[in-house]
Chain A
Amino acid sequence: MELLIGAGVIAATLRLATPIAFAALGGVITERSGVTNIALEGCMLFGAFFGILAADKTGSAPLAVLIGLLAGTVLAAVHAVASVTWRADQIVTGMALNILALGVTSYLNYEIYGSGVPSGVPLLPALNLDFLAGVPFVGGVIGHQNVLVWLALVLVIVLQLYMFRTVAGLRLRAVGEHPRAADTVGIDVRRTRYWAVLASGGLAALGGVYLTVADTGSFTDGLTNGRGFIGLAAMIFGRWTPVGALVASLIFGYGDALSVSLQGVSIGDLRIPVQLLSTIPYLLTILAVAGFVGRSRPPAADGVPYESEGH
């Protein structure tokens, strides 16, 4: 039982879900505006590398967060120019940027650190909620989580409110569903999409910063290992809402946590196949996309470049 729902597993779930959730939030913002951004993987990798580079060179963890975030935003800006201004195919552009990000970070990593890894960089602290120390379970789960874990949770709420309870959120959704309708009532479609894509890059980069500057304290080539894509899956599973994306990220995180905690455990003669276990979230995603687990429908103009008429 302890292995399935113990405080240790749940705390690990939260930790493992955080980078996925950042990417998923980015995905929600950009796709709600009508731009697909699969370069979130690359943005995350940028955040991870430039974050730890900044931490190493400046010695300041907060500065590392800022610089990592900026790096992801810059990469997303390229995507914004290509997909919003030039109306390029968003999947092709995104894929190219992912490959670019992998190359750039691996190259710089080699040039700067050789085969060695930066060590002794300042890390982002955990929030130690000592008053929870005596509370069973809760204390174990949230008593010592990193500040970025908390930031992710706060952002989920902020973005949920932004999306569905503000005027700007209404406009964002309108642009993603029917850009021409938004255009005809005077909403600037391009500007809305630019901001959304930039924000998505920044959010995904925060996930990357978390991986290096909060979690591992080191960087290896291709460290993000598909977490940006898993974030996109969480976005779909969460039906393009921030809260839904968080729930989905937690499910994915739980899958990861289980495959760690159940490593080598067996029931009777049967060794639990953890690798198969951790595929369950992705099977759920496929079912969700196929419409078996309730309907999950993308914004109508998702991935479709917008061309204003006439000249």
Chain B
Amino acid sequence: MIAPRPERERGTAATVVATPLVPLLEMRGIRKRFGELQALDGVDLVVNEGEIHALVGENGAGKTTLMNILYGLYHPDAGTIRYRGREVRITGPRDAIALGIGMIHQHFMLVPPLTVAENVVLGDERGGPPLDTRAIEQRVRALEERFGIVVEPSARIEDIPLGLQQRVEILKVLYRGSELLIFDEPTAVLTPQEVDELFVIVRQLRAEGKTLILITHKLREVLAVTDRITVLRQGRNAAQLVTKETNAAEIAKAMVGRELKELKARAATGTSLPILQISRLEALSDRGTPALRGVDLVVREGEIVGVAGVGGNGQSELAQCILGLRPVTEGTITVGGADITRDPPKRTRARGVAYVPEDRRVEGLVLPFTVADNFILGKQDREPYARRGVLEREAIAKDGDRLAKDFDVRPPNAKVIVGTLSGGNQQKVVLGREISESPRLIVISQPTRGLDIAATEYVHERLLEQRARGCGILLISSELDEIRALSDRIAVMFEGRIVATLDAADATEDRLGLLMAGHAEAASH
């Protein structure tokens, strides 16, 4: 059983942030260097007890590094940490846990073949040497009841969706009695529904007296749930804001150091010529269950068609079928009139189809390769990059540097290993490789997942540029805002079918939401 913690007296209005005499956490002058790179250059972070504190900044600003230092995963080169007014040295996660600091990592720290309960108690099993599975599951269930977070304790992690896995991460931290919870981009991989559910939990935790640090790129989320905001820029403090007294524009400006551009109103450029035609397409998922059950879809030249839907309704499989990465069991796909249904990826791409996959780290890039080498992937066997089977290093390097500059990759040096770049810059490399060939059709999945607002803006501008050039774009995204901002038409996917295709003007958030949840009739009124 969990010993109930004495509840602290709390004000009724949870949004009122009283400033106690001593902040819960005070990090001062934190510095951290990775080789050439000064990732943190004297950063301060002050968090009061009982608040939800947003930590925001561009990709590579140093947010994760700062939190890794707080959690003992990195050791700072300089700076002090005070917790409850006392100076502390955190040399490893064990120290952090003992202080009451818990972290929900950007990439989940769960062991897939173990059960939910085993993952929650791992490292702090209380009892033993024999493993009492029943007792552990009971303890986890009690914890779930106390915080209103529900996951079946005996389920295996590998069998449950990401949204639930994240709850397990939260439970893990609560189980260890943490009072300060760090959330590193918790919403990046969640569907809109899961995000809503997460924020219910987040507010509940604050009501329980917990203190939260929330890292996110979505200003909407910052404004919705946080109390105060610390903005980092290139390893330095850029601003300290109180959420109630600020707005999205001010936060964005502090993050990027300039005003953000509005996306320009777009004149319709679409011709009536279809570039991609899909009819009655069917395919199986990895598990062998039907993933696509008769998809019909057309993308015309100079048009962006957005595919909206809750993740797992066949969007990924659709993209893979078009590229020839997944066998089609029924139906046809044509590009520019040519049947490509059974073509391998190489032939499809030769017809001018570009592909930006949803997981750039797994499918889009070879992480241990340089930027230049990643730019030529797929054309490595062609002139000028290769002659008679031998790579032309000079040509590769020259074009790499040019592309790195053209696509604003930072640092603009094509000899850098791609794996060390921030997420936004990795995405620019994929995008640069794919659109430098002037494709006729771009299939792009989750183009801005994990990207900061400036990088997001950059990617969106490039896509609109391609559209203006006459390229057709199939845009698959779980971000409704993104779909609505870019698309000319929006197709909603549900359970392997396109349940409706709307003109952008008619696609209100409510209608899309209903369609995505499978209420096709309700949405038609």
List residues of A whose CB falls within 8 A of some B CB: 164-171, 173-174, 177-178, 180-187, 300, 308-311
Contacts and interface: CB of A to CB of B under 8 A. Distances in A.
B125 A184 contact: no
Contacts of B94: 186
Given A167-B127, A309-B68, A310-B74, A185 B112 contact: no
Contacts of A183: 93
Interface in B103-120: 103, 105, 109-114, 118-119
Contact of A174 (B73, B111, B124): B111
Interface in B85-107: 92-94, 97, 103, 105
14 contacts: A166-B131, A167-B128, A167-B129, A167-B131, A168-B129, A177-B114, A178-B112, A182-B123, A184-B73, A185-B122, A185-B123, A186-B94, A310-B69, A310-B73
B116 to A, nearest CB: 13
B129 to A, nearest CB: 5
A4 to B, nearest CB: 38
B70 to A, nearest CB: 12
Given A182-B122, A184-B93, A311-B75, A173 B111 contact: yes
Contact of A171 (B32, B75, B93, B122): B122
A178 B110 contact: yes
A258 B3 CA distance: 61
Nearest to A181: B109
B92 A168 contact: no
A166 B122 CA distance: 12
A20 B350 CA distance: 53
A256 to B, nearest CB: 33
B125 A181 contact: no
Given A170-B131, A310-B73, A181 B93 contact: no
Contact of B131 (A169, A309, A311): A169
A166 B111 contact: no
B92 A181 contact: no
B6 interface: no
Contacts, number: 81
Given A174-B122, A185-B124, A166 B130 contact: yes
Nearest to B124: A185
A181 B105 CA distance: 10
Interface of B: 32, 68-69, 71, 73-75, 92-94, 97, 103, 105, 109-114, 118-119, 122-125, 127-131, 172
B417 to A, nearest CB: 16
Contacts of B119: 181
Given A184-B73, A185-B124, A300-B112, A165 B68 contact: no
Contacts of B103: 184
Contact of B118 (A170, A186, A309, A310): A170
B111 A187 contact: no
5 A-B pairs closest in CB distance? A310-B74, A185-B123, A167-B128, A181-B109, A186-B94
B56 to A, nearest CB: 22
Contacts of A178: 109-112
A28 to B, nearest CB: 15
Residue of B122, B127, B130 ringed by the most chain A CB atoms within 10 A = B122
Given A177-B114, A309-B74, 17 more contacts: A167-B125, A167-B128, A168-B128, A168-B129, A169-B131, A170-B131, A171-B122, A173-B113, A177-B111, A177-B112, A181-B122, A184-B71, A184-B73, A184-B103, A185-B109, A186-B93, A310-B74
Nearest to A308: B73
Contacts of A300: 112
A252 B32 CA distance: 55
A175 to B, nearest CB: 9
A186 B130 contact: no
Nearest to A297: B113
Nearest to A179: B111
A310 B75 contact: yes
Contacts of B71: 184
Contacts of A167: 125, 127-131
A181 B92 CA distance: 13
Contacts of A166: 128-131
A229 B75 CA distance: 42
B113 A177 contact: yes
Contact of A170 (B73, B109, B122): B122
A122 to B, nearest CB: 36
A174 B114 contact: yes
A175 B305 CA distance: 45
A170 B125 contact: yes
Nearest to A166: B129
A184 B123 CA distance: 9
Given A182-B122, A183-B93, A309 B114 contact: no
A34 to B, nearest CB: 12
Nearest to A169: B131
A174 B130 CA distance: 16
A168 B97 CA distance: 20
Contact of B123 (A165, A169, A173, A187): A187
A161 to B, nearest CB: 8
A308 B69 CA distance: 13
Given A186-B97, A310-B74, A171 B123 contact: yes
B68 A185 contact: no
A181 B93 CA distance: 11
Nearest to B92: A186
A165 B131 contact: yes
B112 A186 contact: no
